[in-house]
Amino acid sequence: MPLIDRRSLMIAGGALTALPFAARAAPGAGTPFSWNIVQQRAAALARQPYRPPTPVAAAAAIDFDAVGAIRFRPDRTLAGGIRLFPLGNGATLPVAINIVEGGRARAVAFSPDLFEAKASVPPGFAGFRIMEAGRESDWLAFLGATYFRAAGSQDQYGLSARAVAIDTGLDGREQFPRFTEFWIEPTGTRHVIYALLDGESVTGACRFTSTHDGGVMQDVSVVLHLRRDIARLGIAPATSMFWYDDRAQRGATDWRPEIHDSDGLAIWTAGGERLWRPLRNPARPTTDSFDATDVRGFGLIQRDRAFDHYQDDGAFYDRRPDLWVEPRGTWGAGEIMLYAFPTTSETVDNVAAFWVPAAPARAGQRLQFDYRLRWTSQDPSADRGARVVDARVGDAGRPGAAAVAGARKLVVDYQGDGLIGLTRDSGVVADLSIAHGRLLASAAYPVVGQRDRWRVTADIAPDPNATADVRLFLRRGAAALGETLLFPLDLT
């Protein structure tokens, strides 16, 4: 997984005033265009040897501060509110950009006059963003490799998506195919974005039908052609940052109580079970997998949205969007993988989640995946039962007494409408199972003064040389009352 410099991306994607849009292409201009044409180009490209792109030499000299000083001229804004990113030392590979109107595509020609800058602007475009009409912000941006981001429902960027992940989490083997050409078709409040993808092991055609109305929704179609066998093919990948929260501040040097873009992975299984796996900043790279055959949905979620938990009035981590993936059609057998590596900074994206098909990814295959992306601040994985709102770890044993050696206490709070009216006499129990560890004691009870909140406490002895995998949910009789917590627990 790459060390994504979030600061550079956020500077490049900063808000500019949206002035009236430039005139559209004249009728009959450009060349014929269709979704089929993009797919045909991807298929033809897969039959050719991979040719590494040539960076623009002048872009390497444009450092972070210089890139931040280059601004696309508001009066040159393209149809549909489109503005273009300049090249710089963090983005030295140009992409071709076309505007589509009436079934015809018109290439956008580079000119330094498109930008306001104190120094020369290297030739070419690094990507683009789409401005909100009449507002001083943008809501969608494509920049770098196959990365893209949306501002969600609170006008705030956070985590990123990618078109595909290749060998993420495999030591030194990850590849980063890139978008080489875009076609953008703005129609009212909807933007259809087509992209040609090229890389060492894969080519592809991508279509993103994007709307912005109280959040951002994208209907995505990705058609891949494999040039080579791929050990780990990641579909619908999301990339985020988790430095620390109030559970663990190892390596934290900042005064803010929490710093993260997402705090958990949510999964909705084919059988209807809701899973919640809190994120963490691991001491070493980790890869976890979860069965996701015919998965209904999954995503990286920012569940904690209390401003005072972050105290950040500049980066606004309480406003960072969730990213929820809903497969279209049947994806079949596969698993969700969660990869994380250590970070000591909020500028590095250190978490990735994606779906991996069970069938081997072999050279010569054509694979198609259709899905919907929802960028929102309303947790789409929540239901009317109960969800995990806190999970904390401390010393095992009775408070005030000596800690139990070789054990830890896990304290989990559930909250939801399904808990209202339940008492200690309602037959609610904590259903716990533990791999690589032993349960010493547990209890489940309503939190005093909270009408819809229950607490589970569990003293657990992990195996000395392994991380205990805890699986927990509240149950009343045979019925689960909400989502299942998946929690890694060790003695550190």
Out of 331, 357, 376, a domain closes at 376
Alpha helices in 18-104 (DSSP H): 35-46, 64-68
| 435 and 304 share one domain | no
User: What are the tokens at 162?
Assistant: 């990618």
User: For residue range 384-398, what is the model confidence (pLDDT) as tens digits?
Assistant: 789 999 999 999 999
Is there a single domain that holds both residue 362 and residue 480? Answer: no
- Per residue in 108-142, is it b (16+ CB within 10 Å) or e — as a string? bebeeebbebeeebbebbbbbbbbbeeeebbbbbb
Per DSSP, what are the bridge partners of residue 291?
A: 335
pTM for this structure? 0.92
In a domain, 381, yes or no: no
| Joined tokens for residue 278 | 């809190």
Whether residue 95 lies inside any domain: the answer is yes
Domain that holds residue 407: 387-489
Domain count, the chain: 2
* Rounded distance between C-alpha atoms, residue 342 and residue 233, angstroms: 23
211 & 111 share domain: yes
Task: For residue 240, give both structure tokens.
Answer: 């985020």
C-alpha to C-alpha distances, 462 to 399, 488, 489, nearest whole angstrom: 20, 10, 7
Q: Are residues 54 and 181 in the same domain?
A: yes
CA distance 467 to 286: 11
Is 362 part of a structural domain of the chain?
yes
CB atoms within 10 A of CB 3: 12
Distance CA 464, CA 412 (A): 23
Q: Is residue 254 part of a domain?
A: yes
User: Which of 321, 347, 376 is the last residue before a domain boundary?
Assistant: 376
The confidence score (pLDDT) of residue 1 equals 54
End residue of a domain, out of 376, 405, 422 = 376
78 and 109 both lie in a single domain: yes
Q: What is the pLDDT of residues 316-346, one digit of tens each?
A: 999 999 999 999 999 999 999 999 999 999 9
CATH at residue 188: 2.70.98.10
First-last CA distance in the chain? 25
pLDDT, tens digit, 9 for 90 and up, residues 44-100: 999 999 999 999 999 988 888 888 899 999 999 999 999 999 999 989 999 999 999
Among 343, 367, 365, CA closest to 355: 367
| pLDDT one-digit tens code per residue, 239-262 | 999 999 987 766 678 999 999 999
Please check whether residue 398 lies inside any domain of the structure: yes
pLDDT value of residue 249: 66
Q: Could you give the CA distance from residue 55 to residue 91 in angstroms, rounded to a whole number?
A: 9
Run of H or E including 8: helix 6-12
Measure the CA–CA gap between 247 and 71, rounded to whole angstroms: 41
User: Does residue 364 sit in helix, strand or coil?
Assistant: coil
* Residues 277, 489: Cα–Cα separation, whole Å: 12
Task: Tell me the CB-side half-sphere exposure of residue 487, using CA atoms within 13 A.
Answer: 27
At residue 213 the predicted structure's pLDDT band, cuts being 50, 70 and 90, is confident
Q: What is the pLDDT of residues 258-310, one digit of tens each?
A: 999 999 999 999 999 999 999 999 999 999 999 999 999 999 999 999 999 99
The answer on 393 and 360 residing in a single domain is no
In a domain, 485, yes or no: yes
DSSP state of 378: S
Q: Distance between alpha carbon 280 and the CA centroid of its chain, in Å?
A: 15
pLDDT value at 21 more than 50: no
Round to whole Å and give the CA distance between 315 and 337. Answer: 28
Give the Cα-Cα-Cα angle 236, 159, 252 (nearest 5 degrees).
130
Cα-flanking dihedrals φ and ψ of residue 46, to 5°? -65, -25
Q: Using alpha carbons, select from 101, 97, 182, 169 the residue that is nearest to residue 352.
A: 169
In a domain, 382, yes or no: no
Q: CATH number for the domain including 480?
A: 2.60.40.10
- Do 320 and 413 lie in one domain? The reply is no
Shared domain check, 366 and 481: no
Distances (CA, A) of 260 to 177, 255, 285, 319, 392: 27, 14, 17, 11, 17
Question: Is residue 1 one of the residues assigned to a domain?
Answer: no
Alpha-carbon radius of gyration of the chain? 24
pLDDT 10s digits, 194-209? 999 999 999 999 999 9
Do 372 and 393 sit in the same domain of this protein?
no
Secondary structure tally for the chain: helices H, strands E? 3, 34
Query: Are 270 and 170 in the same domain?
Result: yes
**One domain for residues 10 and 150:** yes
Q: In terms of domains, do 318 and 191 share one?
A: yes
| pLDDT at position 149 over 80 | yes
State yes or no: pLDDT of 119 exceeds 90.
Answer: no
What distance in Å separates the CA atoms of residue 47 and residue 330, rounded to the nearest whole number? 28
Written as one string, the DSSP assignment of 65-82 is HHHHT-EE-GGGPBTTTE
